[in-house]
Amino acid sequence: MTVLKNIIVVGGSYCATYIIDDLAPRVHKTHHIIMIEKNSHMQHIFAFPRITCVPGFEHKAFIPFTNAFHEAPRHSTSVVQGLVSAILPDRVLLASGEEIPYEYLVMATGAGKLPLELTTKAGSVNQTRQVQDRMKDAQDIVIVGGGAFGIQLAFDAKEFYPSKTVTIVHSRTQLLNRFHPKLHAIVAKRAAAVGVNLILGQRVKMPPGGFPISGPSYYVELVDGGRVPADVAVSCVSAVPLSAPLLALSPSSVDPQSKFICVRPTLQIADPAFPKVFAIGDVAATGGNKAAAPGYVQAGIATQNIVSMIAGGGARAEYVPDVPGIHLAIGLHSYVTFYDPAGPGKEPAVRFVELGDGDSEEVRLWYECRCHLIWERRAPGVTDYYL
């Protein structure tokens, strides 16, 4: 009986599932793919801003991994819930003490807040509902961070609770500052129209234990001495690339300032001593935008190179970043797609969509951030969304 070697994918979000979908049918005769993920369920991150304030479908944003790779050849994949503490040249070490050997490894850990911990669906849903309840009872809602998450949360909260005061505090003078300034102008105009307050160019003094989600009202304190009244404040900042496990293997492949994993265009880590270790998605310094669509392309490039190397060839496919773009919800039934200029002298590409608040199937699906599509893809046939 042939003993299959392992390909380990660290992470369980969009990029991780994309590459497993690609790899499994092509390598199952020689390799077994193991996904190691800290969360018990796949987290549909696109829905998280909305479920933070809008109740009723938060349980649908957590999808079981039980049959996530049902299209892959039988027994070609497995899922391990665990925290990878260190990556070594031939194996990974889990926080539990378990060791798992590998021949190839893909870091698809994304970005998140530290410290990391194992999560369950029940715990995550309960925590989300606590914040929802606080939002419901609040009058003054403060969102710290003017990135995509914070902006979408603020617009959803204001539309769902129009009588409440919603304020975004952002450290830069430009919202979504990774994009062309015209996106800031679009968002700022929308904020003024719906009544979302903007405090820009101001840093927040973050409480050591984070903002409370129970107890009396308080103030969000600004570095310049200002104070913003809050019944609830949500921090949408401080996510960092989850690259720490790679430090044990190749410290030089982790940027000391940004913590992103340095990669070659082939998406192999920069250290030539470890050509069978790859990084894709938000954790990797690919030069591409941090979003699911570029991650899908990166998964395809990494797959091509791993398959080629298994067959005795080299890693020749290279990732070329596309024009940065974003799909941004600007209310419960509205969104904008925005692409930076494709070259000098060009203008951004912008498209607005107003779905309205009718009872059509499309409106309902977008209201729930298309959670159903992830269930159909990763848990086909399952209708008990509490699993």
Taking 70 as the threshold, does the pLDDT of residue 178 lie above it? yes
Q: What is the mean pLDDT of the chain?
A: 96
- State which residues form the domain around 19: 5-118+239-310
Kindly state the average pLDDT of the residues 65-85: 97
Taking 90 as the threshold, does the pLDDT of residue 383 lie above it? no
Percent share of the chain, pLDDT over 90: 92
Identify the pLDDT of residue 287. 95
Taking 80 as the threshold, does the pLDDT of residue 1 lie above it? no
Q: Please report whether residue 367 resides in a domain.
A: no
Q: Please report whether residue 277 resides in a domain.
A: yes
Kindly state the average pLDDT of the residues 117-129: 96
Q: Please report whether residue 231 resides in a domain.
A: no
Q: Please report whether residue 376 resides in a domain.
A: no
Q: Please report whether residue 302 resides in a domain.
A: yes
Identify the pLDDT of residue 341. 97
Identify the pLDDT of residue 318. 98
Give me 57's structure tokens.
């479908």
Kindly state the average pLDDT of the residues 6-22: 98
Kindly state the average pLDDT of the residues 256-279: 98
Taking 80 as the threshold, does the pLDDT of residue 357 lie above it? no
Taking 80 as the threshold, does the pLDDT of residue 28 lie above it? yes
Kindly state the average pLDDT of the residues 226-244: 95
pTM, to two decimals? 0.95
Taking 80 as the threshold, does the pLDDT of residue 356 lie above it? no
Distance CA 90, CA 279 (A): 16
Taking 80 as the threshold, does the pLDDT of residue 273 lie above it? yes
- pLDDT band with cut points at 50, 70 and 90 for residue 359: low
Identify the pLDDT of residue 373. 94
Identify the pLDDT of residue 146. 97
Q: Which long-range contacts (CB under 8 A, 24 or more apart) does 83-90 make?
A: 83/38, 83/116, 83/117, 83/118, 84/10, 84/36, 84/245, 85/245, 86/245, 86/247, 86/248, 86/249, 87/10, 87/245, 87/246, 87/248, 87/249, 87/277, 88/248, 88/249, 89/249, 89/274
Q: Please report whether residue 138 resides in a domain.
A: no
Number of domains in the chain: 1
Q: Please report whether residue 177 resides in a domain.
A: no
Residue 39 belongs to a domain with what CATH number?
Answer: 3.50.50.60
Q: Please report whether residue 22 resides in a domain.
A: yes
Per residue in 368-380, pLDDT tens? 999 999 999 999 9
Distance CA 386, CA 350 (A): 37
Kindly state the average pLDDT of the residues 124-148: 97
Per residue in 302-334, pLDDT tens? 999 999 999 999 999 999 999 999 999 999 999
Kindly state the average pLDDT of the residues 184-189: 98
